[in-house]
Structure 1
C-alpha cells in the first residue's frame, strides 16, 4: 500500500484555497498510485486562526462535500483535519473519505494540547479504525500519536497504519525526528504524519512531515517547505517486530 501526505502552509481561513490545494495534491497522489492522502491538522480553516470557533464546519458542509467529491473523482482516499461544529460543541477532527467519496471515519482528537485547545475543543472519546488498501488503519491527530498507550491500543486491534494530521510547531522538532519513528518501531505500525510548514500568526511550524515504516524506518521526510510525500509501506518482518507488548512485566 502506498500512502501520501501533503505538507503545506496554513490556508489562513481561505477555504477555496485549502480545497484547491488539496485537490491538486490528491490528483498527484492518485497518479502515483497512493491509496490515501493525508492533510495537516485543522486544514479547514487553518490551525492557529483567532476566530476559529466562528469558522468551524459541520461534517456535511460544502467544503467537506467538495473534498469527498475530489476523493471520488481521483479514486483515492483523503484524510482532512477540520474544526468540527456539532451543536454547541467544537471538536478538533479528521474525516477520511474513501475512494468512492463515502465517509470511512470521522475522528475527534482525544489528547488536546495546551491551554488554547482545551479552551476551544471538547475532547474525543473513541478511536476510529477502518479498512483501507486491504489493511486496517486508524486516525490519530498530532499530540495523540505521542501517547504510547493509544498507539499500542490501536496495534492491539490489528491496525497496521496510522494516518495523522498534525500542526507540530517550534521548538518540538524531536517529534518528527525521533518520537514518530520510535512509536512506529515500538508498536509495529506505519505512521503518515502530515504537518504544516511556515508560520501562522505567532506559531512557526517545524515541517518535517514523514512516513515511517513498521520498523521505525523513515521512508520519506519533508524539510521546511511545501512538499508532497509518497511512500510504499513495506510488509512487516516478523523477525524485526518489537515484542514489548508480550514481554511487558507490570510493576504493582
Structure 2
C-alpha cells in the first residue's frame, strides 16, 4: 500500500487524561519529505506548545499535519490553536480529529485544512466522518513568507 516515510511519538503527554501512565513521551521532532514537500507532524496536545511546533517549522516546513483526539467541549480551542499555528508559521495546517465517543468524552471531529493566512480551506462538519480532499497551492507559503519574514526576523538569541 505504500512506504513508511515517517514515524513520530507524541512529545507532550496530556496529564488530565493520564497519558503519562500508559505512554512514554517522544523525544524527537517529526520533519520529513512528502512527495518533495517538507512537512512535519504533531499529535493532539502538542499543538498547545507553539515553541515545539516552531522548532520544526523553522526547518522550511510548508505543511503541518496534526492528528488528534480533541474533545467536543474544547473544539473551539482546537480551531483557534490550529489557525494560530498556521498564521504564526505561515504554512498550511492539515488537521484530523476523532469522531465518536469514549468512556468519558465525546469527540466531534471538525477536521480542517487551514492556509498560511489562517483561512479555513476545508472543514468537516460536526460529527462528520469521511475522507475529505482539498486543493492547496504550496506557492502560497512562499508568497506569504515573502511578505512578512517572521522566520528571518526571529531573535533566537533572546529565546530560552
TM-score strictly above 0.5 = yes
* 1:203-242 paired onto structure 2 within 5 Å: 203-224=105-126, 225-234=128-137, 235=139, 236=141, 237=143, 238-241=145-148
Structure of higher RCO (CA pairs closer than 8 Å, 6+ residues apart):
1
CA gap 1:248/1:206 in 2 versus in 1, 3 angstroms: farther
Question: How many residue pairs get matched?
Answer: 153
TM-score by length of 2: 0.84
Cα distance in 2 for partners of 1:183, 1:245 equals 17
Cα distance in 2 for partners of 1:251, 1:117 equals 29
Asked if the contact 2:58–2:151 (Cα under 8 Å) also holds between the matched residues in 1, the reply is no
Bigger Rg over Cα: 1
Q: Look up the match of 2:8.
A: 107
Q: Look up the match of 2:39.
A: 137
TM-score by length of 1: 0.55
Q: Look up the match of 1:117.
A: 19
Cα distance in 1 for partners of 2:33, 2:146 equals 25
Cα distance in 2 for partners of 1:184, 1:221 equals 15
Q: Look up the match of 2:30.
A: 128
User: Which of 188, 192, 202 is 2:94 aligned to?
Assistant: 192
Pairwise CA distance, 1:245 = 6.2
Q: Look up the match of 2:153.
A: 246
Secondary structure class of the residue paired with 2:33: strand
Question: Higher strand share goes to which structure?
Answer: 1
Where does the alignment leave 5 or more consecutive residues of structure 1 unmatched?
Answer: 1-68, 70-100
Where does the alignment leave 5 or more consecutive residues of structure 2 unmatched?
Answer: none
Q: Look up the match of 1:66.
A: none
